[in-house]
Chains A and B, each alone.
Chain A
Amino acid sequence: MSQINSKITEEIRSKVKALLSAEEIAAFVGFIDGTLPMTARPFTARSPEDADRLVFNSFCVVNPAVYLPPLLKSLEPPRRPTDPLPEGPLPKVGILATGCWSRNISIQLQENQIARERVVVLGTGCRGMVDMRKVGSIIDGREIEKAYELDDRISVSGKGFSEEILLEDVLRDNCLTCICPNPVIMDHRVGGQVPDRRVDNRFPFVDEIESKSLDKRWEWFQNEISSCIRCYACRNVCPLCYCPTCFVDDSRPQWVGKSLDPADTSIFHILRAFHCAGRCTNCGSCETVCPMGINMRVLTSKLTKDVIDLYGTEAGVDSDAPLPLTTYSETDRQDFMV
């Protein structure tokens, strides 16, 4: 067991147990061990006993901020949509937050999806999460039956094999280009501060695609999305996606056809990414949860890169700075225009 992560786990458990026992929070969003090796299941702890099941490890790949707005809403007393919020304090929710997760919480605050006084953030530094696909290619696609985590390595074994893998070799690409491993907002700290990662190039994949010719880029894009089954896992796992009616569900007009037409799937991916422009925190959930292994994060990374180039903003890092697409400058570049 990883010393660092087991210490964080212990601290989370005791802190959450205390918060839940004292009824300071009604629920806590964290992770428990999954039923398969190297998985962590997002979990909502609602009782002090639940807190004992919480864990933190290198397999917490889903950004828990996605659960925050609906969970807060569900804890409000039932009322009609037009009725005002009842007077007095409403139940609070605790949440575990690493750097990127806390940036998403910050964005949700900026976009008025959640109220700061109802959220208790347990912040922890993050050394990156594991990409199962990278692990899979190292062990040649064989099935992992047992895995355990050490501080800098993972040991995996299955039928006829047993290997130790360096954590650094199997971290997700978004974690390898992480600029913000420590939380930007927090109420309680668990674990220690994690040193910033040295990142020479934050957008290697974007650069790689940009260097291709137009036709090659189209070919890459079409190939990338060709296996999309439109399960919308990437959309649903994204903490930025909270519209009551998504553009894919609009019927009048219908922006996106419902079946697997390449034009429709292209538009879905472009618009999904575009809606994250200037808001994406590079948490990597979309890419991780895709059952088909589509690297759709390249699109949001491209937008992030352009936002930095053009408007100099970093999503969710500075909660006082407005989000880039909710503001403007009179001197914004317009050399793209005819």
Chain B
Amino acid sequence: MNPYLPYSARINDAVVETEDGNIKTFRLVLENEEERRKFRQTPGQFAMLSLAGKGEIPIGIASSPTEEGYLMFTVNKAGLVTTALHQMPVGARIGVRGPLGNGFPINTEIKGKNIVIIAGGFAFTTLRATLIYILANRADYGKVTVIYGARTPGMLLYKDEFKEWEKRDDVDVHVTIDQEAPDWTGLVGFVPTVAGEVGPSPENSVALICGPPIMIRFTMPPLEKIGWTDDQVYLSLENRMKCGLGVCGHCNVGPIYPCKDGPVFTRTQVKSLPLEY
């Protein structure tokens, strides 16, 4: 087994997620039947998407292992590879290397607990995988709260799915946008503020937080105020990654490699590291 060699996949579907057109969700199907069966990701893990001739990029897996037969990746157009990926037609060939990293401890530490998912902007992708997984194994978890925000209604991800989740009574969904917008009837305000207002109980709970660093920084004080501690909070670290195997050195944050040891860490762990992410 060569860990550098990607599985071959085809783009099965590509949907533009946001109004600026910069974020697309790709549905990939591995070409080989057996590889498709063997590929079992944990929510929170990522994979290397590989465009021959362009390069590889690490992207969080947005689909849950309970969604069988395909993989979903929500990709922001930023650099060389993502730009090329955005231009690829349905049916095109693409490489997938993974799953990589540790993922959220959904079957260990956080099983049986109340789950609070907090996300901002484009960072909901692996949390979508987590939410889908939790909803598919609903009995294994306590109360589920989702707090998600974006700049404008048009910048929210997975709009149709959110509509479905909002209808359910076994998950408490709060979707917010930064500023008033026409035709928006939902919450208005930054994620940290909304998190403070929702005030999820820390009792037997964990929070999974993904978003821009500034959002994470401001989300913590309101949570800490109501009794949350650092080891209840799970974060996902991002850094430039190349190999995804903890060898090439690029992603190191002090002694740890987010690509191998992470990307998911408790806030306690993150705080013990140099600020190099």
Contacts and interface: CB of A to CB of B under 8 A. Distances in A.
Interface of A: 251-252
A171 B79 CA distance: 48
Interface residues of B, number: 3
B15 interface: no
A152 to B, nearest CB: 49
A245 to B, nearest CB: 14
Interface string B63-84: 0000000000000000110010
Nearest to A254: B80
Interface of B: 79-80, 83
Contacts of B79: 251
A251 B80 CA distance: 7
B35 to A, nearest CB: 30
Contacts of B80: 251-252
A145 B75 CA distance: 59
Contacts of A251: 79-80
A252 B83 CA distance: 11
A252 B80 CA distance: 7
A48 B251 CA distance: 40
Contacts of B83: 252
Question: In terms of DSSP, what is the predominant structure of the interface of chain A?
Answer: loop
A95 B83 CA distance: 46
Nearest to B55: A251
Nearest to A253: B80
B26 to A, nearest CB: 21
B275 to A, nearest CB: 16
B249 to A, nearest CB: 15
Contacts of A252: 80, 83
A273 B17 CA distance: 47
Nearest to B83: A252
4 contacts: A251-B79, A251-B80, A252-B80, A252-B83
Nearest to A252: B80
B84 to A, nearest CB: 10
B240 to A, nearest CB: 12
A129 B79 CA distance: 45
A237 to B, nearest CB: 24
A251 B78 CA distance: 12
Nearest to B79: A251
B72 to A, nearest CB: 27
Nearest to A251: B80
A248 to B, nearest CB: 15
A252 B54 CA distance: 11
A252 B84 CA distance: 11
A251 B79 CA distance: 9
B256 to A, nearest CB: 26
A20 B83 CA distance: 52
| Nearest 4 pairs of A and B residues by beta carbon | A251-B80, A252-B80, A251-B79, A252-B83
B130 to A, nearest CB: 33
B57 to A, nearest CB: 12
A231 to B, nearest CB: 17
Nearest to B81: A251
B55 to A, nearest CB: 9
A184 B79 CA distance: 45
A227 B83 CA distance: 36
B186 to A, nearest CB: 33
A208 to B, nearest CB: 43
B121 to A, nearest CB: 21
A328 to B, nearest CB: 36
A198 to B, nearest CB: 52
A82 to B, nearest CB: 18
A275 B96 CA distance: 41
A120 B83 CA distance: 48
